[in-house]
Amino acid sequence: MSNIRITKQFSFETGHALYGYDGKCKNVHGHSYKLSVTVIGSPITDRSNVKFGMVIDFSDLKKIVKEEIVDQFDHATVFNQTTPHIELANELKNRGHHVILVDYQPTSENMVVDFAERIVARLPHGISLFSLKLQETESSFAEWYASDNL
């Protein structure tokens, strides 16, 4: 049976700041992120299976990505917990803001690695994460490919 790639796209709004960066992005700011998630597998061949002919039901993939990424990161502000931004993060949390603390610089490059790990942990047996594309602006994005991360 052939391997087929299935892609689902998602959108979410997230703020972040890059501590120590020497450009405008050192300031707290946000992006309208677009995330493309591509998985690979063989279509189900069991005719008695309600998902016959599918690699994965798009709604099943949507549930995983929404729970692991979109619902958590949408309208949140992400800070590196190992920098002085922790003080700002704690102040925002105390005022009721949705803050996510990570142990990495919250660049698109590092976020896409984090997202890959979250998705891989939830995929059903026989389905592999093929690639992710995290777009932070119309012309800027980071990509993660399983083949680059063996």
Q: Which ranges in the chain belong to alpha helices (H)?
A: 58-65, 71-73, 85-94, 108-120
- Residue tagged active-site, from 13, 67, 75, 87: 75
Catalytic residue list contains 91:
no
Q: Which of 13, 67, 109, 136 is catalytic?
A: 136
Sequence-ordered strand ranges (E) for the chain: 4-16, 29-41, 76-80, 99-102, 128-137, 140-145
Token pair in block for residue 34: 């677009």
98 marked as part of a ligand binding site: no
Q: Is 75 a catalytic residue?
A: yes
Question: Does residue 16 have a known ligand-binding role?
Answer: yes
Q: Is 29 within any annotated ligand binding site?
A: yes
Binding residues for Zn(2+), by number, are: 16, 29, 31
Catalytically annotated residues: 25, 75, 136
* Known binding-site positions: 16, 29, 31
